[in-house]
Amino acid sequence: MNLHALRVFYTVAKLGSFSGAAEALFISQPAVSKALKELEYQLNILLIERASKGKKLTLSEGGQALYDHARSIFAIEKAAVDDIKSRTGLKRGTLVIGTSTTIASYWLPPYLAKFCAQYPHIKVEVQVANTAQIEHALLECTIDLALVEGTPTEPHIISKHWQNDLMSVVIPSNFKPTKNLKAWLNKQFWLLREPGSGTLEMSVKLLAEHGVQAEQSMQLGSNEAIARAVAQGMGVALLPNVVTEDLVQLGKLTRLSQKSNEQLSRPLYQLHYKDRPSSHAAQAFEKSLFSE
């Protein structure tokens, strides 16, 4: 298979545009079309459904299968380049970590400080997004490894349990729950994270396990925003304890006690793309995550 043509096809499929692929690859648009035609002729299969003007192009069934293979091939290519560049005893290179807001704000800093002190010449970048966006970035090879709350939905992503994050239902300090706590919680206005968030996924799951349905709700884009909205009396929420600790200590939030606190916890996972071998920097950082 012509790898140049495969790269052209992969770029077109990834960007959803012939002109965008031409610009990204520094070739002409006719050259893009020619490479795709040659690849389709070589494989004897239609890869891209040619869309009418103004409509987005789509991949055929065979095109989608080839795109998945191409993504793995170029992930290995990038890993090979990164590996060769890093064979200087971790004296140079870049490590890109994808993580959720809560992990980036509360759990990650000690590990970053330790790693940067040990490997001062490695440039470390942290990209913050929700779990769904982090998965996409892993598959596109724009990050090396990830730390998230939610479990991966993509079969090409491998997850490894890292640690548990204790969570509690928090309410404004002036709220007075009734004795029938479950019924009271079902009547409350819930503040939740956006779709794709690991916190939302775990919150809905834990609440359902305790017979609580958040029928009246509002979505906010960060746990910190939710905690402060609860403190202002807007409603109630299920949040990680690390997020609410300061507001609880200030008396602005109250945590509802549980008979079994360990049930209200969520697992945190380290993720990586199974078709992409880890760089030396990524391996070193992963080792530091599990050394304690």
Which CA distances in Å does 247 have to 189, 209, 228, 275? 19, 27, 8, 43
Q: What CATH code is carried by the domain that includes residue 11?
A: 1.10.10.10
Residue 22 lies in a domain: yes
Residue 149 exposure: Cα atoms within 13 Å on the Cβ side: 28
DSSP state of 57: -
Report pLDDT digits (tens) over 247-266.
999 999 999 876 554 467 88
Examine the domain organization and report whether 196 and 154 are in the same domain.
no
DSSP state of 259: S
Examine the domain organization and report whether 144 and 119 are in the same domain.
yes
Residue 277 lies in a domain: yes
Examine the domain organization and report whether 110 and 44 are in the same domain.
no
Examine the domain organization and report whether 187 and 229 are in the same domain.
yes
Residue 214 lies in a domain: yes
What is the pLDDT averaged over residues 41-70?
A: 83
Which has the minimum average pLDDT: 53-57, 61-65, 105-109, 232-236?
53-57
Residue 261 confidence (pLDDT): 44
254, containing H or E segment: strand 253-255
Residue 229 lies in a domain: yes
Residue 78 lies in a domain: no
Q: What CATH code is carried by the domain that includes residue 117?
A: 3.40.190.10
Residue 62 lies in a domain: yes
Examine the domain organization and report whether 186 and 213 are in the same domain.
yes
Examine the domain organization and report whether 98 and 230 are in the same domain.
no
User: How far is 21 from 261, CA to CA, in rounded Å?
Assistant: 52
DSSP lists the bridge partners of residue 169 as 238
DSSP state of 89: T
Residue 91 confidence (pLDDT): 62
Examine the domain organization and report whether 173 and 28 are in the same domain.
no
Residue 53 confidence (pLDDT): 59
* Structural domain of 57: 3-72
The SS3 of residue 161 is strand
Residue 80 lies in a domain: no
Structural domains counted in the chain: 3
Residue 239 lies in a domain: yes
Domain-ending residue, one of 72, 97, 132? 72
Alpha helices by DSSP H, the chain: 3-15, 18-25, 29-43, 61-86, 101-102, 109-118, 131-139, 181-186, 198-209, 223-231, 241-249, 280-289
The answer to pTM > 0.95 is no
Examine the domain organization and report whether 181 and 146 are in the same domain.
no
Examine the domain organization and report whether 202 and 220 are in the same domain.
yes
Tell me whether strands 123-128 and 94-99 are parallel, antiparallel or unpaired. Answer: parallel
What is the pLDDT averaged over residues 114-122?
A: 90
User: How far is 149 from 201, CA to CA, in rounded Å?
Assistant: 9
Residue 150 pLDDT more than 80?
no
Residue 74 CB partners (closer than 8 Å, separation 6+): 7, 10, 141
Examine the domain organization and report whether 146 and 172 are in the same domain.
no
Examine the domain organization and report whether 147 and 172 are in the same domain.
no
What is the pLDDT averaged over residues 126-134?
A: 89
Phi, psi for residue 222 in degrees, rounded to 5:
-155, 155
Examine the domain organization and report whether 50 and 136 are in the same domain.
no
What is the pLDDT averaged over residues 104-109?
A: 92
